[in-house]
Amino acid sequence: MSYTYVIGDIHGRADLLTLALRKIADHAQEPGTIITLGDYTDRGPDSKGVVTRLMAGVSDGWKMINLMGNHEQMVFWTYRGKTKPDWWIDNGGDATIASYGGSRENIPVEHIEWMEQLPLFHEDEHRVYVHAWVDPHLPLKEQSDSSMLWVRYRTPWEGGWNDKHVVHGHTPVRGGPAIFEHRTNLDTGAFASGLLAVGVFDDAKPGGPVLIFNMTA
């Protein structure tokens, strides 16, 4: 039986990411797919550790898809001079800078380039995976990065795209993921709550997760 494991917003919690990857490896009966929903940096204590671990990839037979989050966009926009540093720092960038030794100049260009090339979404047979939001009325490839990275769902009945379940993060929920008919929100505010959610999706079945792993340190 093949599964897709989806990890919510990590925000510098390299310790919880390590636990999540171990839990996935223990659960899987065969190699599957791991998707991370973006927001690897900022606010939490070890953004560098998170990025380094994700860049290392996974073992043979597994597939890993790392999506872009709005916080990665803030990092590389600041690095490339496309926005003022204060905007990023005010949104948790100070924690990222600290994890790289206290200076923006310490962030390796390889890490910036990795963030810049991250995809905005992933689609499989039954679901669409994105950091923040999907416009149900537009083809996926015609949607803007600003909407997929920044817009928030406002009501429980919103969601879905072309009859597919949407899996996203971006909007923190307390106590565990929020699972609705047409979408699942896996952002549990890990940097503050100490809880990182992993949704387990059966590749043969449409809809929401068949299991949730709530990882705590």
Q: DSSP letter string over 143-190? A: S-HHHHHH----STT---BTTBEEEE-SS--SSS-EE-SSEEE----H
Q: What is the pTM of this model?
A: 0.97
CATH number for 127: 3.60.21.10
Return the closest-CA partner of residue 42 out of 108, 7, 106, 90.
90
What is d(CA 100, CA 108) in angstroms, rounded to the nearest whole number?
A: 9
What's the rounded Cα separation, in Å, for the pair 99 and 139? 38
Looking at residue 217, what DSSP letter applies?
Answer: -
Rounded distance between C-alpha atoms, residue 163 and residue 154, angstroms:
19
Domain holding 24, by residue range, is 3-216
The tokens for 203 are: 């590749």
pLDDT for 1: 81
Alpha-carbon gap, residue 90 to 207, rounded angstroms: 37
pLDDT of residue 144: 98
Query: Residue 174 is encoded by which pair of tokens?
Result: 């307390």
Q: Give the phi and the psi of residue 175 in degrees, each rounded to 5.
A: 85, -5
| Sequential pLDDT tens for the chain (217 residues) | 899 999 999 999 999 999 999 999 999 999 999 999 999 999 999 999 999 999 999 988 999 999 999 999 999 999 999 999 999 999 999 999 999 999 999 999 999 999 999 999 999 999 999 999 999 999 999 999 999 999 999 999 999 999 999 999 999 999 999 999 999 999 999 999 999 999 999 999 999 999 999 999 8
**How many Cβ atoms sit within 10 Å of the Cβ of residue 32?**
20
Domain count, the chain: 1
